[in-house]
Amino acid sequence: MESQPDVAVIVVAAGSGTRLGAGIPKAFVHLAGWPMLAHTLTRVFGIAEPVQVVVVAPPEYDESARELLGLAAGQSEALVAVVAGGDTRQQSVQNGLAALSPSVGTVLVHDAARALTPSSQFDRVIAEVRASGDGVIPGLPVADTVKRVTVDVVQETVDRSHLTAVQTPQGFPRAILERAYAEAGHEATDDAGLVSAIGHPVRVIAGDELAFKITTAWDLNRAALLFGTDRDVLDTRVGIGVDVHAFSDDPADELWLAGLLWPGERGLAGHSDGDAVSHAICDAILSAAGRGDIGSVFGTDDPRFAGAHGDVFLRATADHIGQNDPDGAGWRVKHVSVQVIGNRPRLSARRHEAVATLTRALGAPVSVSATTTDGLGFTGRGEGVMAIATAVLVPVAGGRPRLPALD
């Protein structure tokens, strides 16, 4: 069953972005790996109640807009539409108004270029339109001193205590906004300007710094910085890996653990060298990348790995997730932490050596710690060694991240 929302959000995304100068329409310029419009829509779908979403896009971007709308809507059964924009913002809004569904009584108009506007700002505008019946616009106090000038000559200082810098979404009772557009006698830079022109009150609520409009390249950089200087923050994945090996009965077996040979210690049983530490790390990495586990990826009967030491598995795992393919769509290990559980060998004396060996093999920082189990269980009885690892992965440079969220 389709919902019957009271609120519609018209997202105007049909501008060409001349001041940004990216060569494509601004709403489709990438920010932190996704078109600006994707960020905007993610936040629109964060509105607390079901809404109709109308995207006004350049006609040649109709399909991209539909794709992004579908992605952002996810499982929600929201009413959505994409319509073609016009030559001016005003014309674009007008085209959006024509697509409103009958149940809609409250309309919000939002610039796609305000890509980081938090969902809460939409919720607050909706609540204030309902409470007041007026037009509602978010605004921020003007911080700079403002002067009126003629070319480059100052005429006067404007009293900034009476000024507010206006953002979107701007919200209105539907009938009021439709009348304002029907009677519009001039081009206005915002919707509230047209509503004021028909004599209907418009009130200001507190805006949000994150709702700034991305107009120039500088604004786009600022938005990118808010996501972190690289995309790592957005797309971090975490994996866990556990491995256990029993001590071997054959006194001739050497002990290899954490990529090191431990002379004089009892060896571990296993198809390879039984290095539970390296294997747990591999499993943690594969699990974070969603690529199964060491058994399914490398196979216990693969002759390349018979008797292989931990470093071989670590290198193969890093390759498998695409860490060494800088232009690929794979993952890079950002950090690994591994804990060894067992009575022997005593890790502490060679901990730094283990860290250096594992870090070198993996090409990413590994931290190593160790503990015993107070005499309990198979590790306490000295029957074997266990290792537990966590891995943090981020996409390699060419990787395509998921839809991010700032708020």
Residues that bind ligand CTP (CB under 6 A): 12-20, 26-27, 56, 85-89, 92, 111-113, 213, 215
Which pair of structure tokens corresponds to residue 399? 């990787």
Give, for 140, the enclosing helix (H) or strand (E).
strand 135-141
CB under 8 A, 24+ apart: contacts of 196-199: 196/135
Min dist CB 19 to Mg ion, Å, is 7
CB of 237 within 8 A of CB of 401? no
Alpha carbon distance 219, 102 (integer Å):
37
186 marked among binding-site residues: no
Which one of Mg ion, ligand CTP, none is in contact with 213 (Cβ closer than 5 to 8 A by kind)?
ligand CTP
Min dist CB 6 to ligand CTP, Å, is 24
- Measured from the CB atom, the residue of 219 and 353 that comes closer to ligand CTP is 219
295 marked among binding-site residues: yes
271 marked among binding-site residues: yes
Biggest CA pair distance of the chain: 95
Min dist CB 83 to Mg ion, Å, is 18
CB of 65 within 8 A of CB of 23? no
Give, for 316, the enclosing helix (H) or strand (E).
helix 310-320
272 marked among binding-site residues: yes
Which one of ligand CTP, Mg ion, none is in contact with 111 (Cβ closer than 5 to 8 A by kind)?
ligand CTP
- Measured from the CB atom, the residue of 93 and 234 that comes closer to Mg ion is 93
- Measured from the CB atom, the residue of 84 and 355 that comes closer to ligand CTP is 84
Q: 3-class SS at 70?
A: helix
For residue 169, is the peptide bond before it cis, meaning its omega torsion is within 30 degrees of 0? yes
Which one of ligand CTP, Mg ion, none is in contact with 112 (Cβ closer than 5 to 8 A by kind)?
ligand CTP
CA 228 to chain centre: 11
Min dist CB 362 to ligand CTP, Å, is 44
Q: Which residue has the tokens 């160790």?
A: 370
- Measured from the CB atom, the residue of 14 and 180 that comes closer to ligand CTP is 14
Which pair of structure tokens corresponds to residue 95? 């085209």
Which pair of structure tokens corresponds to residue 244? 């256990």
Which one of ligand CTP, Mg ion, none is in contact with 27 (Cβ closer than 5 to 8 A by kind)?
ligand CTP
What residue is closest to Mg ion based on CB?
A: 15
- Residues of span 5-44 touching Mg ion by CB under 5 A: 15
Which one of Mg ion, ligand CTP, none is in contact with 17 (Cβ closer than 5 to 8 A by kind)?
ligand CTP
The CA R_g of the chain, rounded to the nearest whole Å, is 30
Which one of ligand CTP, Mg ion, none is in contact with 39 (Cβ closer than 5 to 8 A by kind)?
none
Min dist CB 36 to ligand CTP, Å, is 8
CB of 118 within 8 A of CB of 407? yes
Alpha carbon distance 245, 387 (integer Å):
9
- Measured from the CB atom, the residue of 168 and 323 that comes closer to Mg ion is 168
Residue stretches of the annotated binding site:
243-245, 271-272, 279, 293-295, 371-374, 378, 381
Q: Which residues bind Mg ion (CB under 5 A)?
A: 15
